[in-house]
């Protein structure tokens, strides 16, 4: 599959019933948490999505285990990305966009 086809499938996974969904706009100095772990005071819901699992179906073929997914022991974003890039089969290192997306989020 080409990168364009993979991106199309990843974007299709983010849509609910053919719609893109909603955006959160909040005034303040902090950015809105649009993925990852909940911030203090946020309420957990059952329909929370992990965007890494949906954007990278080749890297997470079973649909779980993505970066900052809900798990019993909290794993920091940086530590999880470092682990992924050192994974034994090198699939995260060799992926066309995973390292760039991860480091872009880290810089944000």
Q: Average pLDDT, stretch 79-100?
A: 90
Please give the residue that has the higher pLDDT: either 98 or 14. 98
Q: Is the pTM of this model over 0.75?
A: no
pLDDT of residue 70: 75
Sorted by sequence, the CB contacts under 8 Å of residue 78 that are 6+ apart come out as 106
For residue 93, what are the domain limits?
Answer: 3-107
Residue 99 pLDDT greater than 80, yes or no: yes
Tally the domains of the chain: 1
pLDDT of residue 86: 93
CA distance 107 to 47: 27
Q: Which tens digits make up the pLDDT trace of 10-62?
A: 777 766 665 665 555 556 666 555 555 555 555 555 556 677 888 888 888 88
């Amino acid at each position: 599959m080409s990168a364009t086809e993979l991106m199309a499938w990843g974007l299709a996974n983010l849509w609910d019933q053919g719609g893109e969904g909603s955006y959160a706009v909040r005034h303040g100095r902090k950015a809105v948490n649009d993925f990852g772990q909940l911030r203090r005071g946020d309420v957990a819901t059952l329909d929370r999505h992990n965007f890494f699992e949906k954007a990278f179906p080749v890297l997470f073929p079973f649909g779980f285990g993505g970066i900052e997914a809900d798990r019993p022991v909290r794993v920091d974003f940086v530590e999880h990305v470092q682990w992924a890039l050192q994974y034994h089969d090198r699939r995260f290192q060799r992926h066309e966009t995973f390292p760039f997306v991860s480091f872009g989020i880290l810089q944000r």
